[in-house]
């Protein structure tokens, strides 16, 4: 009998994997953008986007960096395929 293992990946885990691929400067810009938009600390912003209940990281990002981060995120998603 074949047993398939169903591994569910949360969006938070995808977000966490994505931000871990960013260089320090880009990581800081992304987390700072989220923190500033929501009026929270950078630590809280990182916790929020990596939480099991998190939305897609692009839902948290605003302003002028959104398009650039979107390109990076789409490139990242391609590497997951």
pLDDT tens digit string along 63-75? 999 999 999 999 9
Residue 53 near residue 12, CB atoms below 8 Å? yes
Question: Cα 34 vs. chain centroid, distance in angstroms?
Answer: 10
b vs e for 52-62, b when ≥16 Cβ sit within 10 Å of the residue's Cβ? eebeebeebbe
What's the pLDDT band for 51 if we cut at 50, 70, 90?
A: very high
- Of all residues in the chain, the percent with pLDDT exceeding 90 is 83
């Amino acid at each position: 009998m074949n047993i398939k293992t169903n591994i569910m990946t949360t969006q938070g885990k995808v977000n966490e994997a994505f931000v871990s691929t960013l260089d320090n400067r880009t990581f800081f810009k992304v987390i700072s953008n989220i923190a500033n938009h929501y009026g929270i600390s950078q630590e809280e912003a990182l916790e929020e986007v990596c939480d099991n209940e998190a939305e897609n990281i692009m839902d948290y990002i605003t302003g002028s960096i959104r398009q650039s981060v979107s390109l990076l995120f789409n490139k990242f998603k391609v590497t997951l395929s």
